[in-house]
Chain A
């Protein structure tokens, strides 16, 4: 076995998680009473591949667990068993449990056997309790049974000192190898539980001439130092139980570990533990240090993230590269013996090259694009679970799951969305009785929409619940001292209050929402992605939360502005408008702060020259220049710049890769002439100006 299996682990885990997702969405879409056998088949296939895969890679825990699920699913598939709601719930629970197991294995942590055993018990009760007349059903269960029994054992065991363990006498029958079992694998599993030492008994091995390589003549005396339960140890042997004589005895408990030791100790400062072990179980002692040594490596960052790309996209990319190569060789030909009459040809060639380059850029960007369904697909489950927990009736409608968005956005938008959906579930949708009383259908609806608009993706969460009570919001804000009582606020400003840190109107905290942390974090997350978030809400009719995000984090639409001799880029998303300034629009506040009147609103002005200490160029008088009205931190303000230069798409480069974070600057880009321009971080600048 010289093949290093670990190189395939990444793929295996990815496939498993995909399979689990398929199972989950299949289970959720199962309509009790009218079963689509194709859905069951899909679930079954997913379970089967996970079982097969984990068996191949030696993750027997997973394989065994999946086996039981598979048995249950198989019966459902053959129609030998009714698909009932409890059964589906148990299966859903098992999906979670499997995911947990796989994550632990992926992170090289110990699998939480207790929860696995509990889920397994539930599965088997489901399987055995209502064996719907399937006599075949009994058979596969048998060998999995032993490790269900001692579920409560761990509690008792925990009180015992750490040095506990098991003495295992393992005498395989001659036929063990013929059944395809390999003791080495078992020992590897065992050593994952703790420190394993073995004593091999080879008396029974016949002389070489009589040796049958397919017979197992060796037996082992194993000592396992571990806090593993008997169940966990037995479980490892569960596949070979019928092919061996297995005896398990707990190790003699050592005397109290921390008992002061009169014996001379070379390093009295060090905790005496290792020395004690040496006394009681000399075989084990030298290896005691090993587990702690290996620990740090477990925390090492996981392998780099990967992305699955549709082959179509790659084909397009290859075509595109072909076009570019052709154009390039054409241009080369023109350049070889260039005469002035070829200028027209050259121009055409260059135009073509430009077009191809743009297409190429587009296709490369496309590779990073994933459908938003990667995020959305988790929500049916969330809604299903929470609505059951809250005794509400809620359907979730997904619209536009195939809208594509940058991978980085997909990864970062999940948490804010979960938070918003939870909010809608908990606070938005009313209890069924209240809904009926309000003349609404009993079933509440949450709609999750994604669509493209301009260079943006818009994600909307629409619920038809009770909406937000603006009067209540305002009262709460005044009570918490977040706003002055006399402040006159627009409806929009009142709704924006929910983004203030520490603001929660929920009367009581639930474990779903209402802790008052959250909405401000949600908004900060979304702003850090270069997006913004809006709320529309009507009391009694429901709320709509709209998130606008840039399609990609690598390219940005920018407005370049001149400040002195320097050029800066303002993200186009945050610009509301730009206006030439006139003297009478400017007002001083307390001699220092400046505001200007934009139609009916007074907005603060940030002078870019001052905040960035620009000394070059002619100092602009206060009545010259352009005000760029931007939205940052939920409020409008004006940046005073010297001149607007033009709009362009810029490629975002990190300033931190070689340099450092600079306040008020979110990144840098390279302009057409090769020079570097800084991209402004609008919310950051607003913060900077306040100081």
Chain B
């Protein structure tokens, strides 16, 4: 186990030594007092919140669907998905449209966040694994943590985030 942990670290050191730092850009956004980041290559666009058409009999965090230039795109409230306190949508509330999937089958989905804050460049070696909070906090969506200007940013796994409950069932 410890061996496995060392090997990637050693690799990263080797990479930094050879002056080829692997940086990844993340789009960071705010939910309440927490800051999250998603891989910027997964971000298709950022839109302001607009009313959605509700879809009946689905979990509450799935707010509904909107028309995105002819495609029907679902909108998910991240606060509700992470079981944070609800807030009223304001003109500052934004929808980050993310894409997921592999190969020919990609899907797009919008997530509602409080506001978008920054684009951050993160050296891969700076990313720490998410600590295990036990059963208290689920960290299934979190890829890692990184500290930017003394703030902690949680990096989200877009694919896992956009996998809705029961969706696997439908795909199979």
Q: Do A and B come from one complex?
A: yes
**Which of A611, A659, A663 sits near B72, CB closer than 8 Å?**
A659
In chain B, residues 67-81, which have Cβ atoms closer than 8 Å to a Cβ of chain A? 67, 70-74
Against A, the Cβ 8 Å flags (1 = close, 0 = not) of B44-83 are 0000000111111110000011110011111000000000
Contacts of B11 in A (CB 8 A): none
Contacts of B107 in A (CB 8 A): 657-659
A227 within 8 A of B: no
A311 within 8 A of B: no
Nearest A residue (CB) for B68: A658
Nearest B residue (CB) for A608: B56
* Known A-B contacts A660-B170, A668-B65; A653 and B71 likewise in contact (beta carbons under 8 Å): yes
A86 within 8 A of B: no
Contacts of B58 in A (CB 8 A): 660, 662
- Docked-complex contact B72 and A658, CB < 8 angstroms: yes
- Docked-complex contact A676 and B170, CB < 8 angstroms: no
The minimal Cβ–Cβ distance linking A310 to chain B, given in whole angstroms, is 28
Most B CB contacts (10 A, CB to CB) among A611, A661, A678 go to A678
A sample of 5 inter-chain contacts (CB < 8 A) reads: A653-B70, A655-B72, A657-B71, A662-B57, A670-B72
Against B, the Cβ 8 Å flags (1 = close, 0 = not) of A559-585 are 000000011000000000000000000
- Docked-complex contact A659 and B57, CB < 8 angstroms: no
Nearest B residue (CB) for A658: B107
Contacts of B70 in A (CB 8 A): 653, 670
Contacts of A654 in B (CB 8 A): 72
* A664–B57 CA distance with the chains assembled, in angstroms: 9
- Docked-complex contact A676 and B67, CB < 8 angstroms: yes
Contacts of A668 in B (CB 8 A): 53, 65, 72
The minimal Cβ–Cβ distance linking B26 to chain A, given in whole angstroms, is 23
- Docked-complex contact B53 and A675, CB < 8 angstroms: yes
B146 within 8 A of A: no
The minimal Cβ–Cβ distance linking B101 to chain A, given in whole angstroms, is 10
- Docked-complex contact A678 and B57, CB < 8 angstroms: no
* Known A-B contacts A658-B108, A660-B166, A660-B167; A676 and B72 likewise in contact (beta carbons under 8 Å): yes
* Known A-B contacts A655-B65, A658-B72; A677 and B53 likewise in contact (beta carbons under 8 Å): yes
Against B, the Cβ 8 Å flags (1 = close, 0 = not) of A624-665 are 000000000000000000000000000001111111111111
**Which 6 A/B pairs are nearest by Cβ-Cβ distance?**
A612-B56, A676-B53, A659-B74, A658-B107, A668-B72, A670-B67
Question: 20 extra interchain contacts, Cβ-Cβ under 8 A, other than A611-B56, A653-B70, A674-B67?
Answer: A566-B54, A613-B56, A655-B65, A657-B107, A658-B109, A659-B55, A659-B72, A659-B74, A660-B74, A660-B170, A662-B57, A662-B58, A664-B57, A668-B53, A670-B67, A675-B51, A675-B67, A676-B67, A676-B72, A677-B53
Contacts of A655 in B (CB 8 A): 55, 65, 72
Contacts of B51 in A (CB 8 A): 675
**Which of B56, B64, B66, B72 sits near A664, CB closer than 8 Å?**
B56
- Docked-complex contact A663 and B109, CB < 8 angstroms: no
Q: Which residues in B have some Cβ–Cβ distance to A below 8 Å?
A: 51-58, 64-67, 70-74, 107-109, 164, 166-167, 170
* A564–B170 CA distance with the chains assembled, in angstroms: 30
Contacts of B166 in A (CB 8 A): 660
Nearest B residue (CB) for A676: B53
Nearest A residue (CB) for B70: A670
- Docked-complex contact A659 and B65, CB < 8 angstroms: yes
Nearest B residue (CB) for A661: B170
The minimal Cβ–Cβ distance linking B167 to chain A, given in whole angstroms, is 5
A614 within 8 A of B: yes
- Docked-complex contact B56 and A614, CB < 8 angstroms: yes
Contacts of B108 in A (CB 8 A): 658
* Known A-B contacts A653-B71, A658-B73; A676 and B66 likewise in contact (beta carbons under 8 Å): yes
